[in-house]
């Protein structure tokens, strides 16, 4: 009986690892987003720049806690070519996203993932915050689900900016 339970556990682990591996991206997906201000952004046209894409929601405490750090990263590195795009999850009411972006005076582009297509394109993002760092060549070099460590992310961005 112990062998059956052990084998079932190994099989379950293998299935879980296969599932996770299928949903880890190595290249930025080919998507075009429209921000809440009407700006159109083609992620492929951002090649040549480091880009941070973060999936978030207004009801996600960790997401809201990260906003000051995201604003700081954007303000510090944007003039050097760094881009940041925040994608609000499909379940997030658009009026909440717009209101919070105005209240917190977010300087970076915000887009609504009304249909869930952006989360799907990034490997079926379901949890927030989920953040991707994209190198200038379009490769995804770092991904974090949950709050990020600011010093680590700054070092990664600086490394990409130096080439």
Q: Render pLDDT for 123-158 as a digit per residue (tens, 0 to 9).
A: 999 999 999 999 999 999 999 999 999 999 999 999
Confidence of residue 25 (pLDDT cuts 50, 70, 90): confident
Residues 63-96 as b/e (b if ≥16 CB within 10 A, e otherwise) read: beebbeebbebbeebeeeebbbbbbbbeebeeee
| Residue 144 CB coordination number (10 Å) | 15
**Which position has the token pair 């379009």?**
138
The pTM of this model reads 0.85
- pLDDT for 157 equals 98
What does the pLDDT look like over 60-82, one tens digit per residue?
999 999 999 999 999 999 999 99
Asked, as a colleague might, if the bond just before 129 is cis with ω within 30 of 0, I would say yes
Encode the chain in three state secondary structure: CHHHHHHHHHHHHHHHHHHHHHCCCCECCCCEEEECCCCEEEHHHHCCCCEEEEEECCCCHHHHHHHHHHHHHHHHHHHHCCEEEEEECCCCCHHHHHHHHHHCCCCCCEEECCCCHHHHHCCCCCCCCEEEEECCCCEEEEEEECCCCHHHHHHHHHHHHHC
Residues 6+ apart with CB under 8 A from 119: 55, 87, 89, 90, 113, 125, 126
Confidence of residue 163 (pLDDT cuts 50, 70, 90): confident
- pLDDT for 82 equals 98
Rg (CA), the chain: 17
């Amino acid at each position: 009986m112990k062998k059956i339970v052990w084998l079932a556990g190994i099989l379950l682990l293998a299935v879980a690892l296969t599932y996770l591996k299928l949903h880890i991206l190595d290249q930025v997906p080919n998507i075009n987003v429209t921000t809440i201000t009407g700006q159109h952004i083609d992620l492929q046209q951002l090649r040549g720049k480091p880009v941070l894409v973060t999936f978030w929601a207004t009801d996600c405490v960790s997401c809201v806690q990260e906003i000051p750090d995201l604003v700081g990263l954007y303000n510090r590195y944007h003039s050097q070519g760094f881009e940041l795009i925040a994608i609000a999850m499909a379940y997030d009411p658009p009026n909440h996203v717009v209101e919070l972006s105005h209240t917190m005076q977010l300087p970076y582009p915000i887009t609504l993932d009304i249909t869930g297509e952006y989360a799907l394109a990034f490997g079926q993002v379901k949890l927030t915050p989920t953040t991707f760092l994209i190198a200038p060549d379009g490769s995804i070099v770092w991904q974090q689900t949950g709050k990020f460590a600011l010093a680590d992310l700054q070092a990664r961005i600086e490394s990409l900016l130096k080439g």
